[in-house]
Amino acid sequence: MTNQFRKNALCSTILALSLTMGACSTDTHTNQQEDKPSSTVQNNHQNNDQNSAQPGQPEPVQSLPAEAEIRIDSIKKSKPQLAVLEERGAVPGRGQTRDMTVTRTSALSMVAPHEMTVAPHHYQQQDTENYLAQNENPVKRVEEAAVSTFSIDVDTAAYSNVRRMIMREGRLPPADAVKAEEFINYFSYQYPVPEQQEQPFSFSTEIAPSPWNAKTHLLQVGLKAYEPELSERPASNLVFLVDVSGSMQSPFKLQLVKQSLRMLVNQMNKNDRISLVVYAGAAGMVLEPTAGDKKATIMNAIDNLSAGGSTNGGAGIQLAYNIARQGFIDGGINRVIIASDGDMNVGTVNHEALKDLIKSQRESGIALSTLGYGTGNYNYALMEQLADVGNGNAAYIDSLKEAHKVLVKEMQSTLLTVAKDVKIQVEFNPAVVAEYRLIGYENRLLKREDFTNDKVDAGEIGAGHTVTALYEIAFKNSGGEKIPALRYGKETRSHNSENESANNHEELAFIKLRYKKPEGESSIETATPILRSSVKTALSSASSDLKFAAATAGFAQLLQGGEHTGQWQYSDAINLARESRGNDPHGYRAELITLVELAHTINQGRSGKNDIVSGLTQR
């Protein structure tokens, strides 16, 4: 053994032993803390992003936590171990979830000399973020399925969550985390504004060529909800249900929750009531219903929140509804707002049971919305489903800027419902349209008969909200058709048919909408035809709103794999978004352009790595 080798080995051993002593010292200190876990290794639900940056600051490089145990069991020749990514289980089907587990080895094993290895016991951080498995909507032939029915969706959580992955973490999202409709509806559009509350929303359409296929067109369906003056807002009875379990110990979790709720409290007045309920291993009331002008009392209750323990979400939800009933305001806004990472692991952990609980409560006039926080264990699937069945909306808060957008700038949209159970049904004319594809809304699809069934739940629309849906359609004989005709299909129709008329080729589709008033039980229906004469001949002549929605939808589809976008690329999305940015007072559209640019760069880097691996494989 050479002197140089002895010197290297001795230095490495001393380094490892010193770190071990530091870890033990830290563990001793940590164990003295009340209700706090001693090791992130032993509790996968806690401290998933303990080392995160402060909100609004750059994310730090992942490093070995002080509390991780490090043991030197042997000194032998070995190669450094690399991080391992393993996907557990088979690929799930629609409606199931994917459980992705990421295991990272200790940083020490990567720096030790190749003659030594540190420990068989490594620090492990698991990524257990949860998303519903989904497949993009398929192309459908109008001859075989002329009617498309779906519920509206005003959730925006998917967009801000993906933004977190790209901007803060420098990675592209898993396909299941991308929901095209939530990307599109994150932005507002300049649709006609309803003039009075009796008409809860306006309805408009526009058609222009698709940016990714010159032989198809995009049909844009837009709704704009009525928004009263802020002074006319009804009194609010809000119950903040805050997750204070150990998994919320992070600047981007509980600390950001506190800052978010403080923003919302500052918008309240003496007519409003604020309550605060927390849940961890058990649930408890921190603040009874308190007038909105008692801000010092409310702020003090929020500031004193701290995290620790397991997560009994079911008990918290039940208690929150009980408190909401105590403070119920007739004719007002009655809503429970959950702030959590969605990581519920004790008590009622059966998600169907939780949803049944919320369904039973929504009939009493108390809605439920969710605010998602954090990384590593964020349960998007659960948070979205709870909001859906609770007649509320789901947002993801990744920064103070997003909290300000959701809880201040768009407060009325978040809190005040102007129409519920809003459904859209489009019947395409087979004499004009050959095929269609609804972009997004995969988990909002309804059966044809559900449209007129008032017992079938659908989405709500808040004051001032805009809702946008895009169909990609191919006209007959346009060359944009993707599905061959059936041998025994109805390719020709009798000219003697009762339905045949001189106007048959003038209408390309017929759109119907149904909705209920916030306190109503019976639906109101409205309908309008879409005329072929309204089709724009060039995308350049379309409105900025349609072009920007198309750029956003195209970006979402690229993140999902680009199955339907042909040769269209990130650079095309960037150019179209820049061209159609339009009026952007808060910079949200400009931020999308930056987001697409970053995704483009990350994708290029990933493609370069794939090329290198491919070249090595071929050698």
3-state SS class at 176:
helix
pLDDT band at 150 (very low <50, low <70, confident <90, very high): very high
Indicate the length of the chain as a whole number. 619
Mean pLDDT lowest among 243-247, 380-384, 429-433, 554-558: 243-247
| Extended strands (E) in 137-216 | 140-141, 147-151, 201-209
Residue/partner pairs of 493-497 with CB below 8 Å, 24 or more apart: 493/430, 493/431
User: CA 250, 184, 195 angle in degrees (round to 5)?
Assistant: 110
User: The tokens of 386 are what?
Assistant: 């709870």
pLDDT band at 612 (very low <50, low <70, confident <90, very high): very low
The 3-state secondary structure of 18-54, one letter per residue: HHHHHHHHHHHHHHCCCCCCCCCCCCCCCCCCCCCCC
What single-letter amino acid sits at 223? L
**195-234: per-residue pLDDT in tens?**
777 889 999 999 999 999 999 999 999 999 999 999 999 9
pLDDT band at 32 (very low <50, low <70, confident <90, very high): very low
- Cα(524)–Cα(550) distance, rounded to whole angstroms? 30
Q: Taking all residues of the chain, what is their mean pLDDT, rounded to a whole number?
A: 80
Which range has highest mean pLDDT (20-34, 244-258, 288-302)? 288-302
DSSP, res 114: T
Q: Which residues contact 102 (CB under 8 A, 6 or more apart)?
A: 83, 85, 125, 126, 127
- Cα(40)–Cα(23) distance, rounded to whole angstroms? 12
Q: Which residues contact 582 (CB under 8 A, 6 or more apart)?
A: 190, 544, 545, 548, 589
pLDDT at 99: 44
- Cα(516)–Cα(523) distance, rounded to whole angstroms? 5
Decide if pLDDT at 79 tops 80: no
User: The tokens of 152 are what?
Assistant: 């509206």
- Cα(251)–Cα(397) distance, rounded to whole angstroms? 12
- Minimal CA–CA distance to 179: which of 212, 131, 211? 131
- Cα(395)–Cα(417) distance, rounded to whole angstroms? 16
Whether the Cβ atoms of residue 137 and residue 442 lie closer than 8 Å to each other: yes
Question: What percentage of the chain reaches a pLDDT higher than 70?
Answer: 73
**311-363: per-residue pLDDT in tens?**
566 788 999 999 999 999 999 999 999 999 987 754 445 778 888 889 888 88
- Cα(397)–Cα(596) distance, rounded to whole angstroms? 20
pLDDT band at 280 (very low <50, low <70, confident <90, very high): confident
pLDDT at 490: 65
User: pTM above 0.75?
Assistant: yes
Q: Are strands 417-428 and 147-151 parallel, antiparallel or unpaired?
A: antiparallel
Mean pLDDT lowest among 87-91, 466-470, 510-514: 87-91
Decide if pLDDT at 38 tops 50: no
Region 519-536 average pLDDT: 95
Q: Are strands 333-340 and 236-243 parallel, antiparallel or unpaired?
A: parallel
Q: Which residues contact 198 (CB under 8 A, 6 or more apart)?
A: none
- For the chain, domains (ranges, CATH) are 140-228+418-605 (2.60.40.1230), 230-415 (3.40.50.410)
CA distances from 478 to 209, 475, 567 (A): 12, 5, 19
**425-436: per-residue pLDDT in tens?**
999 999 999 999
Strand ranges across the sheet with 97-103: 84-87, 97-103, 130-132
Whether the Cβ atoms of residue 272 and residue 292 lie closer than 8 Å to each other: yes
- Cα(301)–Cα(295) distance, rounded to whole angstroms? 10
Region 62-68 average pLDDT: 37
